[in-house]
Amino acid sequence: MTTETTLRLERQISLSPEKCFVLWSDPARVADWWGPRDDTGKPFKAHSVDWDVEKGRRWRIGMTAPDGRVFWQEGEFLHIEESRELRFSFRWIDDGGARGPATTVTVKFEADGPGTRLIFIQSGFVDPETRDSHAGGWKECLDRLVLATQYSQEAAT
């Protein structure tokens, strides 16, 4: 049994680091892929995206599940290196407005041949179970991100 409280995921994306960074920095593009899928495979929909990537600025995203439930997340942008790295705090907000414990998300964009290796790290979980509860959702978000890059490539050709 592991006691590691950091989640690390990677995806290979066939866009340049500059174009990958746009998928994380443009609020309209973030709305395209942010959110997991439910148990039937239907995606959550980001319905409110307050996401202006600027150090020290707060962000907030609301997602609606396919069954109509609404979930809120928020944080603050901590570090930005355009086309290289984005770091922000992340926390859930419950129905009553109470804020959960904050974690830190770091997204790295590494040039890899003609594309990018995207490295996603979320650290600061209170325990391995909480980390594991986030893993599936972020895997689905990143899968949706990869799918969004395919649409970007098709639109560019």
pLDDT at 152: 58
pLDDT tops 60 at residue 2: no
1 found inside a domain: no
pLDDT at 4: 87
Angle at 50 between CA 46 and CA 54, to 5 degrees: 130
Give the position of tokens 């039937």. 40
Total domains in the chain come to 1
44 found inside a domain: yes
pLDDT tops 90 at residue 21: yes
In angstroms, the CA 129 to CA 153 distance is: 37
**pTM (two decimals):** 0.92
Rounded to 5 degrees, φ, ψ at 112 are: -145, 95
Full domain range(s) for residue 83: 7-156
Strand-pairing partners, residue 85, are 81, 108
63 found inside a domain: yes
Residue 106 in 3-state DSSP? strand
pLDDT at 151: 66
pLDDT tops 50 at residue 1: no
Tell me the pLDDT tens digit for each residue of 29-70. 999 999 999 999 999 999 999 999 999 999 999 999 999 999
pLDDT at 100: 94
Average pLDDT over residues 9-32: 96
14 found inside a domain: yes
Average pLDDT in the chain = 93
pLDDT at 157: 40
93 found inside a domain: yes
In angstroms, the CA 110 to CA 130 distance is: 28
CATH number of the domain enclosing 115: 3.30.530.20
In angstroms, the CA 3 to CA 100 distance is: 20
pLDDT at 153: 57
2 found inside a domain: no
Tell me the pLDDT tens digit for each residue of 104-138. 999 999 999 999 999 999 999 999 999 999 999 99
Tell me the pLDDT tens digit for each residue of 63-86. 999 999 999 999 999 999 999 999
57 found inside a domain: yes
In angstroms, the CA 17 to CA 130 distance is: 30
Angle at 89 between CA 86 and CA 92, to 5 degrees: 130
Average pLDDT over residues 12-20: 96
74 found inside a domain: yes
Instruction: Judge whether 114 and 15 are in contact, CB under 8 Å.
Output: no
